[in-house]
Every structure is written in structure tokens, then in C-alpha cells.
Amino acid sequence: MASNLKNLSDFSGFDIPCGKGMRIAVVAAEWNREITDALLQGAVDTLKEHGVYENDITTVRVPGTFELTFGAKCALESGRFDAVIVIGCVIQGDTRHFDFICDSVTQGITDLNLKYNSPVIFGVLTTDNLQQAQDRAGGKLGNKGSEAAATALQMVAVRDHLLRQQ
């Protein structure tokens, strides 16, 4: 989770490349929809602000954060995308589901990043309560979806720079 001092939508100091011509899939969870809708909107807005064509952005919904790994895998297997962004929100409750879901999606997305040559970006909030999620979904600490979108553009540029240099 972001530090209290960091605004997730503040990219000053970061060199965000132009996304013109990049094809991006955004896979978003239905759970905690109030939050994931705001994160998804933040991601799409930021992609467009940085030059990604609307037609090159594909959004898809999966039931929960646990399903993000499979959704991202399908997007990668299609070979159609330069990057995949996963969006979710897991809120700590009295259930151990929190740990299982967070561990699963973190490991799942890491595994995909190791296996495929298109980056998968982690736009998942894992918070103690709803207020912390709202703060990071367009609230006082910015928008984690926007941060994920900017990261996607950076990582596609890194991939292109390093793999196409050979």
C-alpha cells in the first residue's frame, strides 16, 4: 500500500513515454466495484492522456481479485497486447480470505511477468478498510489505477528498449 505521503497520481519526476500505438488490456475485478470502477477509470484516463488510442484499450471484467491472474493470462496468450493492467481491491476483514487472495494474486502476477514478454502491472489495492481504498481510488492519495497505467507505459518502453536492442 502507498505511503501516506505519496500521491499515486503524481508522476512528476517520472519520464512517462508516449503510448501512441501501444495496445493495453485492463482486467478489473467486480468485487468492491465502487473502488474498482474508479481505478479502472483512472487507468483508462491516464492511458489516453499519454497518447494511447481508445481503440487500443481493451477492458474486461472478472468476478474477483483472485481471478485476475487467469484474466491476465488469457490476455497474454492472445498475443494482442503490449501490456496488461490488473485492477482489484481486497479489503481486510475478519476472514483469512484476505491473505489467501493477496498471496495468490501477487504470486500469480509475478509468475506471469516471468513467463511472458509483455508486462503485467499490479493495480490492486490491499487495504485495512474502505476509507483507505477510497483515498487511493481518486481520493486524497490519488488513483492507483492511474499509477498502474503510467507504470505500464514505462514497462513497455523498457521491454522494447532492452529486447529489441539485440
Count of residues interacting with ligand DLZ (CB under 6 A) = 15
Nearer to ligand DLZ, 110 or 129 (CB): 129
**DSSP line for 99-164:** HHHHHHHHHHHHHHHHH-SS-EEEEEEEESSHHHHHHTEEETTEEHHHHHHHHHHHHHHHHHHHHT
Annotated catalytic residue 50: no
Verify binding: residue 65, ligand DLZ, rule CB under 6 A.
Answer: yes
Position among 23, 48, 61, 97 found at the interface with ligand DLZ (CB under 6 A): 97
Nearest approach in angstroms of CB 70 to ligand DLZ is: 10
- What dihedral angle (degrees, nearest 10) is formed by the CA atoms of 106, 104, 23, 139? -60
What pairs with residue 143 in β-bridges? Answer: 137
Nearest approach in angstroms of CB 93 to ligand DLZ is: 7
Nearer to ligand DLZ, 10 or 107 (CB): 107
Residue facing ligand DLZ at closest CB distance:
64
Strands 142-143 and 137-139: antiparallel
Among residues 72, 86, 59, 61, which one has the least CA distance to residue 147?
86
Verify binding: residue 145, ligand DLZ, rule CB under 6 A.
Answer: no
Interface segment toward ligand DLZ; rule CB under 6 A; list 24-32, 43-51, 110-118, 158-166: 24-32
Among residues 98, 145, 90, 91, which one has the least CA distance to residue 121?
145
Interface segment toward ligand DLZ; rule CB under 6 A; list 13-21, 64-72, 74-82, 134-142: 64-72
Nearest approach in angstroms of CB 125 to ligand DLZ is: 9
Q: Helices then strands (H, E): number in the chain?
A: 5, 6
| Catalytic (active-site) positions | 97
Residues that bind ligand DLZ (CB under 6 A): 29, 31-32, 63-67, 88-91, 95, 97, 101
